Chains A and B, each alone.
Chain A
Amino acid sequence: MVHFPPPRRQMVGPGRTRCCGPPGAAPAMNCRAEVLEVSVEGRQVEEAMLAVLHTVLLHRSTGKFHYKKEGTYSIGTVGTQDVDCDFIDFAYVRVSSEELDRALRKAVGEFKDALRGSGSDGMGQISLEFYQKKKSRWPFSDECIPWELWTIKVNVVNLANEQERQICREKVGEKLCEKIINIVEVMNRHEYLPKMPTQSEVDNVFDTSLKDVQPYLYKISYQITDSLGTSVTTTMRRLIKDTLAL
């Protein structure tokens, strides 16, 4: 039996919501939201984002489920590996899954390019949202109900000389250590997690498209703040193939 949380919908527009409405909409009421802020140099953006996202996903991934008869299932094994950062004095642990790494790198790469683009003064945020799907009957699309939202606000600084860059390497390394500790603290609260699904429901909870690990369903989106300080929705990227609205 899969128990979904009591439905809280993001009402955007008439009728049913699109799957997980535009970014910037208020998360559902029982969606846990955490915000982290970092100030980094331009070339550190990618590694810093990857470090945070991988750390979160490490905690939010399990091994592949193998359902057996009678509703029991066994869980595969999650491997880990150390990653050293080149531009930051920092190392982190990520799940040993090339597919997952590629997906995250793609999203972070786009975010970085958007940050560098014109109209931005180096401020933006990237969000990692975990959600559950609730199937709805035709003609309505499935609902996406987020249950955890991680937002990383980024401020890109420009440094003048090598000495400052060296200091920045160390400082950002220390900051990221703090962020990891914060993330672990949140994870440790053992707050709401979707119940383990039955075989038929597993795709509503987990992303089963990867071949070696199984993270909870997630999506990554980002916003760039333009110099006026208003958040402008530039792109919303879906990394999971979701059924789109009609």
Chain B
Amino acid sequence: MDTDLSSQDRKDLDKFIKFFALKTVQVIVQARLGEKICTRSSSSPTGSDWFNLAIKDIPEVTHEAKKALAGQLPAVGRSMCVEISLKTSEGDSMELELWCLEMNEKCDKEIKVSYTVYNRLSLLLKSLLAITRVTPAYRLSRKQGHEYVILYRIYFGEVQLSGLGEGFQTVRVGTVGTPVGTITLSCAYRINLAFMSTRQFERTPPIMGIIIDHFVDRPYPSSSPMHPCNYRAGEDNGAVYPSVEDSQEVCTSSFSTSPPSQCVFTVTKAHFQTPPPVVTDTLKVPMMGLAFSHQLSSSRLSYQPAALGVGSADMGYPVLFAGGLHAAHPHQLIGPGKEGGVPPVPSQPAHGTQADQERMCTPLDGVHYSAATPSSSEDTETVSNSSEGKCGSPHDLLETIFVRKVGAFVNKPINQVTMANLDIPFAMFAPKNVELEDNDPMVNPPDSPETESPLQGSLHSEGSSGSSTGNTHDDFVMIDFKPAFSKDDILPMDLGTFYREFQNPPQLSSLSIDIGAQSMAEDLDSLPEKLAVHEKNVKEFDAFVETLQ
């Protein structure tokens, strides 16, 4: 076959194919940067514009493409593939498209290399320019930024279509016959974007390991410069998120080695008895999701999201959903304890979260809550275990309080009920410890040194009022329930007393099993008697029925 092609032609052809491959990659990647591309026409040839098209060369992309090709050219069975995928700020990723430059064996011997093939390759590049704007990923890539970024990966070899999900569609950009084979350029793109709604938290490190040359496209259009991730006052991890380069440096190297140590966050397992000291100083917890997305956008830090992908899930939850869902998470991010404590969480009242550094958490050793909220007991344990000097994330504390309110009146043994942190909203109205002075941790808080408890004073002062009704539950700590807005002396029966008295109504007798069983047996036994009575009165019943008809 090669004998038909002069050596000069062969060389030319190889050169054309190589540069065509490089330009193809440039076009595809540039089309997914999220920016509008504009290049100028020039009537005088510069000599460096391959295929007579003004396609800018992004150096990193060329470098990666050359690396992937490793000196080879697309051939049968060896295709050059550019994979475009999307990665969300939480670390989920999804493959969107796969562009393949393939070569097959069908040769066109008569074609003139230097002329026709060249022009057809040029036409194919123009078609590629047009098609790259037409697939669904284009619109996604134009909107990338806060919530997700678009990444590309180049590989050489066998085409792997498995990542595209079911029902992916293919569009053929074009073919060019050459004397050594037919070059085909096509795109397979995902249709099923339902991934987004059923996302699972992937732990990105494994993916990181496999894909070694995943690059981050510069996500922001040049018109809107990226901002470093300092949304919140007090954010002090500027070092962690270096600012983004200007628009000229479009792509930077990939998951560069921003070491995870820069963003250390602890993981406190709920089962620990002696928890490891809670460390972190850098991460501000709230809106971390956003912070990470920004990190993702920051091209330098593309590694960061991966590392933090593990944490972000955890961190996102406790804070952003501070309503208290996450309790199932064994990991908790313990917010920075150094200064200022945990910054305000949007959904929480402000003062509740601004735990002062000095306010230590009172440990909740040995708190056993009712089985109704087992997860919360995990939480409180966690909080207690982490009380070495840092406060748990605010939601914990708030949730603790909620739980305790329920637990306080449940007919289950509770050894101690303690206040976790006193900086909670409406702390004055929270259930207080009243009696059992010796065991009362508020009186003698075992481990919490400088607990300033505004509550303690009031605890003792109200101690007596609630205890009278507390005697019914011996091993049960009665606390004077002081409902909000109630006054003590207006009614003889105040809301609190009312509430307490009617909190535990007796069970319905019919619902208790033994009584039920007993009555059932009685019913069955009495049936024959009843039937006999009814039979006696048959005539009356018949007369009655007739009156009805």
Residue on B nearest A181 in the bound complex, by CB: B171
A183 to B41, CA, bound (A): 23
Contacts of A80 in B (CB 8 A): 37-39, 53-54, 126, 129
Total inter-chain residue pairs, C-beta < 8 Å: 121
Check if A63 sits within 8 Å of B52, measured CB to CB. Answer: yes
17 more contacts with CB within 8 A, not counting A58-B126, A188-B175, A212-B40, are A64-B43, A75-B45, A76-B44, A78-B54, A79-B39, A79-B42, A80-B39, A80-B54, A82-B133, A92-B130, A96-B38, A177-B134, A180-B133, A181-B134, A188-B123, A190-B120, A211-B43
Q: A77-B53, A82-B37, A84-B36 are in contact. Are A181 and B129 (CB under 8 A)?
A: no
* B173 interfacial by beta-carbon distance below 8 Å: yes
A97 is an interface residue with CB less than 8 A from chain B: yes
The distance in angstroms between the C-alpha atoms of A129 and B131, with both chains bound, is 23
- Minimum C-beta distance from A96 to chain B (A): 5
What 0/1 readout, one digit per residue, does chain B (180-196) give for beta carbons within 8 Å of chain A?
00000000000000000
A75–B44 Cα distance when bound, in Å, is 8
Say whether A93 faces chain B, with CB atoms less than 8 Å apart. yes
- Contact between B129 and A58 (Cβ–Cβ < 8 Å)? yes
Contacts known (A63-B45, A91-B138, A185-B172); A82 close to B36, Cβ less than 8 A:
yes
A213 in the interface (beta carbon within 8 A): yes
The chain A residue with its CB closest to the CB of B133 is: A91
Enumerate chain A residues within 8 angstroms of B52, measured Cβ to Cβ: 62-63, 75-78
Of the candidates B40, B115, B130, which one forms a contact with A184 in the assembled complex, judged by CB atoms under 8 Å apart? B130
**16 sample A-B contacts, Cβ–Cβ < 8 Å, listed by A number:** A59-B130, A63-B42, A64-B43, A75-B45, A75-B52, A79-B39, A82-B38, A96-B40, A96-B41, A97-B41, A180-B131, A187-B127, A190-B123, A196-B115, A212-B40, A212-B43
Establish whether residues A187 and B45, one from each chain, have CB atoms under 8 Å apart when the complex forms: no
B41 touches A212 (CB 8 A): yes
What separation, in Å, do the CA atoms of A55 and B127 have in the docked complex?
A: 9
Q: Is the CB of A96 within 8 A of B39?
A: yes
Which residue in A66, A84, A97, A184 is a CB contact (below 8 Å) of B131? A184
User: Which B residues form the contact surface with A (CB < 8 A)?
Assistant: 36-46, 49, 52-54, 115, 120, 122-124, 126-127, 129-131, 133-135, 138-139, 142, 171-176
On chain B, the residues within 8 Å of A77 by CB distance are: 41-42, 45-46, 49, 52-54
Q: Decide yes or no: A188 and B173 within 8 Å by CB, A66-B44, A80-B39 being known contacts.
A: yes
A243 at interface by CB-CB < 8 Å: no
Q: Does A95 contact B (CB under 8 A)?
A: yes
Contact call A78/B172, Cβ cutoff below 8 A = no
Name the residue on B nearest A183 (C-beta): B130
Any chain B CB within 8 A of the CB of A74?
yes
A163 sits at the interface (CB 8 A): no
Residues of B within 8 A of A91 (CB): 36, 133, 138-139, 142
Collect the chain B residues with CB atoms within 8 Å of residue A63's CB. 41-43, 45, 52
Give Cα A196 to B114, complex, Å.
Answer: 13
Once the chains bind, are B54 and A79 in contact (CB under 8 Å)?
Answer: yes
Across-interface contacts of B46 in A (CB, < 8 A) = 77
From A188, which residue of chain B is reached at the shortest CB distance? B174
Residue of B nearest to A54 (CB): B130
Q: In the complex, what distance in Å separates the CA atom of A74 from the CA atom of B44?
A: 9
The 3 A-B residue pairs with the shortest CB-CB distance in the complex, in nearest-first order: A188-B174, A79-B39, A81-B38
- Whether B124 pairs with A188 at a CB distance below 8 angstroms is yes
Q: Which of B134, B142, B171 has the most CB of A within 10 A?
A: B134
* Shortest distance between the CB of B118 and any CB in chain A (Å): 10
Please, how many angstroms separate the alpha-carbon atoms of A55 and B267 in the complex? 55
In the complex, the answer to whether B43 meets A76 with C-beta atoms within 8 Å is yes
Q: Are B138 and A212 in contact (CB under 8 A)?
A: no
Write the nearest CB–CB distance from B411 to chain A, whole angstroms. 57
Nearest B-chain residue to A180, judged by Cβ? B134
Q: Are A74 and B54 in contact (CB under 8 A)?
A: no
Chain A, Cβ-Cβ closest to B40: A79
Q: Is A203 an interface residue (CB 8 A)?
A: no
> How far is A51 from B101 in the complex, measured between Cα atoms in Å?
26
If the complex has contacts A177-B134, A181-B134, are A76 and B127 also in contact, measured as CB distance less than 8 A?
A: no
A110 at the binding interface (Cβ < 8 Å) = no
Complex interface: chain B residues within 8 A of A93 (CB): 37, 129-130, 133
B139 contacts A89, C-beta separation under 8 Å: yes
**Residue pair B45, A213 in contact (C-beta under 8 Å):** no
Closest B-chain residue to A196, C-beta based? B115
Alpha-carbon separation in the docked complex, A65 to B60 (Å) = 32
CB within 8 Å of B: which A78-115 residues: 78-82, 84, 89, 91-93, 95-97
C-alpha spacing A180/B135, complex, angstroms:
10
* A187→B123 contact, CB < 8 A: yes
User: Closest CB of chain B to A84's CB: distance in Å?
Assistant: 7
Contact B41 A78 (CB under 8 A): yes
A58 CB to nearest B CB, Å: 5
